[in-house]
Amino acid sequence: MEQKQQTGVVVDLFCGAGGLSHGFVREGFRVRAGFDMDPACRHAFETNNDAAFNERDVGSLKKADLAALFGKDEPTILVGCAPCQPFSTNNQRRPDHPEWRLIESFGVLIRETTPDFVSMENVPRLKSFKGGKLLAEFRSLLEDELGYSVWCATVNCASYGVPQTRRRLVLLASRAGRIELIPPTHQPSGFRTVRETIAHLPPLAAGGQSPDDSLHCASRMSTTNLARVRASRPGGTWRDWDHHLVAPCHRRSSGRLYDNVYGRMIWDAPAPTITTKCTGFGNGRFGHPEQDRALSLREAALLQSFPEDYEFFAPEEPARPQVGARMIGNAVPVALGQAIAGSVARTIGAGEGDG
């Protein structure tokens, strides 16, 4: 397959392991650099995207930092996914949470550098955070103050080839004409499934690791959790278990509604949303459909639509389960990143056609 080539230079804020950047790479864009505070992401970002990783607080960046990266001869594209933790249900009670101000920092950099294109991806709850004021102010900066064309909506990632039920807020902004996300590439009848994504991987026991792929490793399980996963069926809940296996917290009336944990995935459906806790059976519906264990890191990465050869750790470095799960769960799914990149490419192409 011939590699696409697009005009445009990308800088990725809050880049993490590079899921969003890799979507732009696959669409043929050149990613110049990424910025993130997590040093564990350096190898993954640089190795897979041929771009420099900068361990920097986005709030400390200045106009000159980005101007040195963008240059003047190609369309400039500033993308980012600010940490979503401050917009969780728990943290919405903390209006002083320091990380929500990172979106304000993102806005300051846009005002100072006015890139040709901007993309932001986040959790849908951002729309209601602080009564919707934060997102409204960000949009007003782009549309009213800076004159961008803005498109913003909640997206079902499965509609763009991500084999999970993840829903995300996507914002696109353009100074080069009207922009919107490309039409869905997958319809519900053709959503990618767990089976077609991970069934080809060799079987593992809990605590096992593939000799051919260090990322295909599964967490150990206690004797109790092994009994629980063996009593679980795909799509079921802990309500299917014998009473002695049910956790004490779920026996109480306050815990009876929480049945979205200790579950097996369904082979012929998209996976649940992959989180930073995706390698723990008790943290969600992260049990393998057949094997008595939770997801491996490689399985989680594939369900986030990373290619199978994506490196998260250096070859000489052992896979660290908690670190790997954090990088994978926090990432923008690559297929969604490619849809965002394709939307930018379409707008650039439309502008060039008008010239």
Q: Which residues form the catalytic set?
A: 84
Report angle CA 245, 251, 252 to the nearest 5 degrees: 160
Q: Determine the angle formed by the axes of helices 133-140 and 101-113, rounding to 10 degrees.
A: 0
Going across the sheet that includes 30-36, the strands are: 52-55, 30-36, 9-13, 76-80, 117-122, 167-174, 149-156
Which of 157, 88, 148, 86 lies closest to 119 in space, CA to CA?
A: 148
Q: Which two tokens stand for residue 314?
A: 């250096």
DSSP strand E in the chain: where? Answer: 9-13, 30-36, 52-55, 76-80, 117-122, 149-156, 167-174
β-bridge pairing 149-156 and 167-174? antiparallel
Supply 235's token pair: 């799509």
H helix and E strand count, the chain:
11, 7
CB atoms within 10 A of CB 52: 14
